[in-house]
Amino acid sequence: MSLGTHLESEFRRLNLGARAGGADAAAAGAEPPWRRGRLKPTFSSPHLPPPLPPGISRASASIRTKKVCTSSAATDCVAAQIPRSDVITGRDDCNVTDAIHSRMGRGLHRRPGHPLSLIRAAIYEHFDARSGSEGSSFAKFDDLWPVVSAKANFDSVLVPADHVSRGYNDTYYVDADTVLRCHTSAHQAELLTAGERRFLVTGDVYRRDSIDATHYPAFHQMEGVRVFDQSEWGGEGADGTAFCQEELRKELEGLAKHLFGDVEMRWVDAYFPFTEPSMELEIFYQDEWLEVLGCGVMQPAILEAAGVDPATNKAWAFGLGLERLAMVLFGIPDIRLFWSDDERFTKQFSKGAGDKDAWRSLRFSSFSKYPPVFKDVAFWLPPSAEDGAESTFTENNLCEVVRAEGGDLIEEVKLIDEFVNKKTGRTSNCFRVTYRSMERSLTDDEINGIQTRVRERMEAELGVELR
């Protein structure tokens, strides 16, 4: 699958349909496995957590973050990390792992000379130039606390109550009503309520996901919002939605030209629960069409809930992934590289820290290509998974186990074979785990030890029968 296919996966995910049966089973009183304590620390239940209490949870009491690392080296960021006990509670309704906690507070998007920081600055430059011509600037928020209420993450942006993204298989829960934000849109409501009318939010976001060159459970997004009042679109009787949509198109076409040059562009109709109409911007770049971002005119209900009268105000919103843009613009082939402290990587971009235009000429130069180590693991699925019922096994759960043992040595986890035994009716899967370090050669003893622990945990935690 091409990189372009994944460019807008961060914003697009909420367009997925709800998983059938989850809400119905919960309504019928079925006790989800995370309540029975079956799954530690990985979760697969499509059931939703218990109903949210009124108001915002304790985890998002402050708009601004406590500490965010701005150092150029990850080793200097230990003090900036969120305390482990704040996000890993040991309770049955917590599925945050040590691997995820180790990525929190790193502030890659704020590190001078980091490719994500360069992309952020380039986008800021576009909006600053536009603001200068209009006489009003965009407020910038890049240090907001990443632990938010489920209400802020889902309800405030109109994600349906039975949507698959709310499940423990997709989202990292600190407790039943507190999550690691899945998108920077989680701060939209509180900023609008606080009186912000033009703003950009940049930050780290977290999702349980597959493992390959373009997916990582921690990544970075930028959200943009602008509110227009009635006087800006011509007053009563004029079409405020059409005006807002046209302003959005002009703004984002200008951003695409700023980043990619004079490229061919096209708009594609889309669906997102928080905007209507909704669109995706695609560009023709390096001989293929790439999805750059998703956007739309904000739903009136979001404005109204934030104390903004939707009858006299309209707003647009967009979202984009910084890693995806950086991978295309700089030619970075593997998303794991953004977390690397190898000087052969970091020095290629450090010269961009003092020159606002340097990013335009920066291209990643591969410094090594160490050989991969392949390990296949075949197993029978648990009976519940074969029946389509709730199960301890999902691909996301498998990836959490593999990632917990192998960390960033894991390049890919891929299903390579599946069949049903005609006599027993049981389903067999075979996944290939690709190990490859970006910095050194791996030894057989090292990988064999990791793979043995992975296999043991698959049996103990995912309920599979190894073949």
d(CA 243, CA 275): 15
Please give the residue that has the higher pLDDT: either 110 or 58. 110
Residue 47, SS3?
coil
Structure letter (DSSP) for residue 48: P
Q: What angle do CA 350, 353, 355 make, to 5 degrees?
A: 120
d(C-alpha 156, C-alpha 74), whole Å: 33
Task: Give the separation between CA 3 and CA 440, rounded to whole angstroms.
Answer: 25
DSSP for 117-163 reads: HHHHHHHHHHHHHHHHHHT-PPEEE--B-SEEEHHHHTGGGT--TT-
Task: Name the architecture of domain 373-466.
Answer: 2-Layer Sandwich (3.30)
What is the average per-residue pLDDT within 216-236? 91
User: Residue 433: CB partners within 8 Å, gap ≥ 6?
Assistant: 374, 375, 376, 377, 402, 406, 410, 412, 413, 451, 454
- Average pLDDT of the chain to the nearest whole number: 83
Q: What is the mean pLDDT of residues 113-139?
A: 86
pLDDT band, residue 344 (cuts 50/70/90): very high
- What is the C-alpha to C-alpha distance for residues 353 and 192, in angstroms, rounded to an integer? 32
- pLDDT of 236 above 50: yes
Average of per-residue pLDDT across 79-88: 80
Among 123, 157, 156, 115, CA closest to 140: 123
What's residue 355's pLDDT? Answer: 76
- The residue among 47 and 253 whose pLDDT is bigger is 253
The per-type count for the chain, helices as H runs and strands as E runs, is 16, 14
Name the pLDDT band for 1 (thresholds 50, 70, 90).
very low
- Among 60-69, 170-179, 200-209, 375-384, the range scoring the smallest mean pLDDT is 60-69
272 and 294 Cβ atoms separated by less than 8 Å: yes
Confidence band for 340, pLDDT divided at 50, 70 and 90: very high
Q: Give the tens place of pLDDT for each residue, 201-218.
A: 999 999 999 999 999 999
Confidence of residue 130 (pLDDT cuts 50, 70, 90): confident
How far apart, in whole angstroms, are the C-alpha atoms of residue 318 and residue 248? 9
Domain(s) of CATH 3.30.70.380: residues in the chain: 373-466
**Which candidate, 380, 354, 374, 369, places its Cα nearest to that of 432?**
374
Model pLDDT, residue 134? 59
pLDDT, tens digit, for every residue of 376-431? Answer: 999 999 986 555 555 689 999 999 999 999 999 999 999 999 999 999 999 999 99
pLDDT at 445 over 80: yes
Residue 281 and residue 254 in contact, taking contact as beta carbons nearer than 8 Å: no
Residue 61 has pLDDT above 70, yes or no: no
Q: What is the pLDDT of residue 69?
A: 47
pLDDT over 90 (residue 72): no
- Dihedral (CA of 241, 245, 247, 248) sign: positive
Interval 345-359: pLDDT, tens: 999 998 777 777 888
CA dist., res. 271 & res. 240, Å (int): 20
Q: What is the rounded CA–CA span in Å between residue 270 and residue 279?
A: 5
Domain with CATH 3.30.930.10 in the chain: 3-29+63-361
> Identity (one letter) of the amino acid at 448?
N
Please give the pLDDT value at position 12. Answer: 45
| pLDDT at 184 (0 to 100) | 96
Q: What percent of the chain has pLDDT over 90?
A: 71
Beta partners for residue 375, in sequence order = 433
Q: Which residues pair with 268 in a beta bridge?
A: 280
Residue 462 pLDDT greater than 80, yes or no: yes
CATH of domain 3-29+63-361: 3.30.930.10
Nearest to 329 by CA among 4, 1, 13: 4
